[in-house]
A and B are shown apart, each in its own frame.
Chain A
């Protein structure tokens, strides 16, 4: 069991900044994120896009912002559970919460801060009637273990980088690789597109465009897919695996079933006070919350995180006195023993 003071669901900019604000109050944080890396949308959707409304940064790339937030909070030694989605929450008799991920990892904390942005990123699934019935029985949306495909026939659908890269990679592993895309053109790194072309010419990738997979065949496991190609009769390709790679889309997901008040696909919070939800001890900050006048901006998430931490402190230490201290005055004392502070002015007498 992982134990911490503030358990943060979501490692986007708001969640990462929470680590810093909590650290100033000597509260430790642990973050859970469904993505394999921190940064949330900033690293998953638009790492190379500039942001212009982060105070004091006239321009900063989303990926660089993530780096800087990690750097800013690192002396507070946050823990991370990455690549796992927060699934359930259970309130204990002592008022603490236990959050369990889809992989069964348990986390315990007196305060939970949901900084989940638009939700957890889930693979986008093509609309094929019997698709879900074959999930993990030949249909996979994410390639976790390439060895699964050793000496098997594999059909990949999609036209982006991951479809290209996995097609290339699996030519060395699988018995056959078929890549199906709705268009003749692929978008992706030029290297990957050229490599696929080369492998196609060598007969190592069976490229079918413009075409779409419209059906899946098999009893309990995939045995083939039905392909529709422009101006042709639908035909069947025998295969052991069908891997649709159409990117990721955020969904509010299991958090929506935690008994929190939801409005406009977001979690309602008390913005007049501390961004607490209808369940005391559970807060929601950043893009995932809503209140009158809410703006989904990173800078608003930073503010919400700061106020939330003050409230969390009072919840954890109801009897302890504390007033907010400026970092300019108190410096920043890390849990790792480091201390940042303003250099002392030299004092020397004049005779």
Chain B
């Protein structure tokens, strides 16, 4: 099943896209699959919560999976962090996230 999500890219353009929930994809990979940020500027570490290049701000009220220690520690070191910051690579696409709205953090 696919879910609808809204992603605001780094230029401020909002994209309404469909994300599959059955391919073990995370938000960072969804962004890459739609090429919403240039290759090499997002998902640099490949999704290990080790670079913060996929940092995003969650602007909808969805209940997201809890932050792992790795993600929390990486965000402690990242720049432009806000209270609603998350690492896209740590957010798995699940049916519960239908309607999710996020904004990509600036490139760091």
A contact residues vs B (CB 8 Å cutoff): 41, 45-46, 49, 118, 124, 126-127, 158-160, 181-183, 185, 187, 246-247, 249-250, 252, 264-266, 290
Report Cα–Cα, A290/B53, bound state, in Å.
Answer: 20
Instruction: Tell me whether B108 and A124 are in contact (CB under 8 A).
Output: yes
Interface of A is mostly: loop
The CA-CA distance from A183 to B75 in the complex, in Å, is 10
- Of B42-50, B55-63, B86-94, the one with at least 4 CB within 8 A of chain A: B42-50
The smallest C-beta distance from A212 to any residue of chain B, in angstroms, reads 10
| Those of B3-25 within 8 Å (CB) of chain A | none
- Chain B residues whose CB sits within 8 angstroms of the CB of A250 once the complex forms: 44
Interface residues of B (CB under 8 A from A): 38-41, 44-45, 48, 50-51, 53, 69, 73, 76-77, 79-81, 108
What's the minimum C-beta distance from A174 to chain B, rounded to whole angstroms? 23
Contact among B38, B79, B80 with A265 in the assembled complex (CB-CB below 8 Å)? B38
Cβ distance B86 to chain A, nearest Cβ, rounded Å: 16
List B contacts of A187 (CB < 8 A).
69, 73, 76-77
Please measure, in the bound complex, the distance between the C-alpha atom of A124 and the C-alpha atom of B73, giving whole angstroms: 16
Q: Is the CB–CB distance between A49 and B79 below 8 Å?
A: no
Cβ contact of B40, chosen from A41, A45, A181, A266, cutoff 8 A: A266
A49, A118, A183, A246: the one contacting B48 at CB < 8 Å is: A49
* Nearest 3 Cβ contacts at the A-B interface: A265-B40, A264-B39, A187-B73
Residues from chain A with a CB closer than 8 A to the CB of B108 are: 124, 249
Instruction: Determine the distance from Cα of A252 to Cα of B50 in the docked complex, in whole angstroms.
Output: 18
Closest to B45 in A: A45
Q: How far is the CA of A185 from the CA of B53 in the complex (A)?
A: 22
In the complex where A46-B45, A46-B50, A182-B81 touch, is A264 in contact with B76 (Cβ < 8 A)? no
Closest to B51 in A: A249
Bound-state CA distance A118–B41 (Å) is 10
> Is A159 a contact of B77 with CB atoms below 8 Å?
yes
CB within 8 A of A45: which of B48, B77, B81? B48
Please name all residues of chain B whose beta carbon is closer than 8 Å to the beta carbon of A159 when the two chains form the complex: 76-77
**A262 — nearest CB in chain B belongs to which residue?**
B40
User: What is the chain A residue whose CB lies nearest that of B70?
Assistant: A187
A245's closest neighbor in chain B, by CB?
A: B77
CB distance from A120 to the nearest CB of B (A): 13
Bound Cα distance from A118 to B69, whole angstroms: 26
Task: Please measure, in the bound complex, the distance between the C-alpha atom of A45 and the C-alpha atom of B77, giving whole angstroms.
Answer: 15
Can you sample 29 A-B contacts with CB below 8 Å? A41-B45, A45-B48, A45-B50, A46-B48, A49-B48, A118-B40, A118-B44, A124-B79, A127-B80, A158-B77, A159-B76, A159-B77, A160-B77, A181-B76, A182-B76, A182-B81, A183-B76, A185-B76, A187-B69, A246-B77, A246-B79, A247-B77, A249-B44, A249-B51, A264-B39, A265-B40, A265-B41, A266-B39, A290-B39
